[in-house]
Structure 1
Amino acid sequence: MEISTKNSNLGIINISPEVIEVITSIAVTETPGVHSLQNNFASGNIEKLGKKFRGRGVKVDLKDDEVILSIYVALKEGVNVHKVAENIQSNVNQTLRTMLEQQVKEINVHIVNIIK
């Protein structure tokens, strides 16, 4: 499934979920307080089967041209968890709007671990 953005005389632009995953991954790892993205159960099993999973820690669901993100992240010790999660949501939303002109319906941040 892809997001389609129509442009009057020029045609249609299709954006694949993999592009959204990569852009989201970069935005998350650039957020202060984030240690790393973490695999969720599905991505770990895909990699065990030999297929490279590019959006490690990021799951993209597309429904009716709306984007729903689930982000699995490990934070650094001593940070305000709630504030860092809000900053992740803000950074991802702003980055996707700037780079893809795409609105995001939901950005769900799952704190998987705290790393010393």
Structure 2
Amino acid sequence: MTKEEQMKETHQTGLGKVEIAPEVIQIIGGLAAIQVEGVAGTSGGVVDDINQFLGRKNPKHGIKVELGEDELEVAVSIIVHYGHHVPDVAVEVQQQVKGAIESMTGLTVNKVLIRVVEVKIEGEAEDTRETDHHQRVR
């Protein structure tokens, strides 16, 4: 079995096989995470951040999925709005991500790991970064 085949969750039905790719789980998890109050967004590292800065929205941004033999682990990197209680936001993200993935896919999520990578201060606009970028380019 190839690594790609191992990374897909498969269900056998009377009509055939249903495969759920990790990318689908990433999208579901990412959309669930950003709906939690206090979450400013997700962060997937330098390349993903650059893509988001350039306006390329990616719902799987900041979400990693590990499928084991009997285990599904999801890691979510989030940005929290300043003023929100970080542990409460993280627990809510864990619950929402787990619930969304399980209800939409029928899979059992064993772990949801949360990594808070940034605190966003209100008024710290995206356009400030854009202005800095344009100043560096000139």
Q: Do residues 4 (structure 1) and 10 (structure 2) align?
A: yes
Unaligned runs of 5+ in 1: 46-52
Identity %: 25
Unaligned runs of 5+ in 2: 1-6, 51-57, 122-138
Q: Relative contact order: is structure 1 or structure 2 higher (C-alpha 8 Å, sep ≥ 6)?
A: 1
Q: Which residue of 1 aligns with 2:92?
A: 87
Q: Equivalents in 2 of 1:92, 1:59: separation in Å?
A: 12
Counting matched residue pairs gives 111
Q: Which residue of 1 aligns with 2:120?
A: 115
Q: Do residues 98 (structure 1) and 110 (structure 2) align?
A: no
Q: Which has the higher helix share?
A: 2
Q: Does structure 2 conserve the Cα–Cα contact (< 8 Å) formed by 1:18 and 1:54?
A: no
1:5-84 matches, within 5 Å, as: 5-7=11-13, 9-40=14-45, 55-84=60-89
CA deviation digits over 1:24-76, x for unaligned, max 9? Answer: 1100000111001012368569xxxxxxx762100111111521111001000
Q: Which residue of 2 aligns with 1:49?
A: none
Give the TM-score normalised by the residue count of structure 1.
Answer: 0.85
Q: Equivalents in 1 of 2:47, 2:73: separation in Å?
A: 16
Q: Which residue of 1 aligns with 2:131?
A: none
Q: Does structure 1 conserve the Cα–Cα contact (< 8 Å) formed by 2:26 and 2:60?
A: yes
Q: Which has the higher strand share?
A: 1
Give the TM-score normalised by the residue count of structure 2.
Answer: 0.72
